[in-house]
Amino acid sequence: MGNFKKEFILGDYESVRDFAAQKGIKYNGYFAEKTKGWSEEKRARQEQKQSKIIEKTIEKIAKKDPDRNVAHPNAKRELKNGYNRPKKVESRNLEGV
């Protein structure tokens, strides 16, 4: 199961059930018990990877344009917390109003 676990965690599978289906493995109680916790490990690894990407992006921005840190003091926080774009507002037809 060790190789399967590594392949699942590093692979592009949505769930353990999806992984089993793509590998032709019967998903039953035994398989579910042996793969318990894999999804959480995969999620933690992805979050760690995202965090490293954000940190490296911040470092590159800081090195490339040091004045940006002064001009945009919230940039680091926004990158770490995820930038929330304004929601798209649908335009309404105002003819005849």
- 44-66 pLDDT, tens per residue? 999 999 999 999 988 888 887 76
Report pLDDT for 63: 81
Residues 21-42 pLDDT 10s: 999 999 999 999 999 999 999 9
Tokens describing residue 14: 């949505």
**Which of 82, 58, 55 minimizes the C-alpha distance to 68?**
58
pTM, full prediction: 0.59
With pLDDT > 90 as the criterion, what percentage of the chain qualifies?
54
85 pLDDT band (50/70/90 cuts)? low
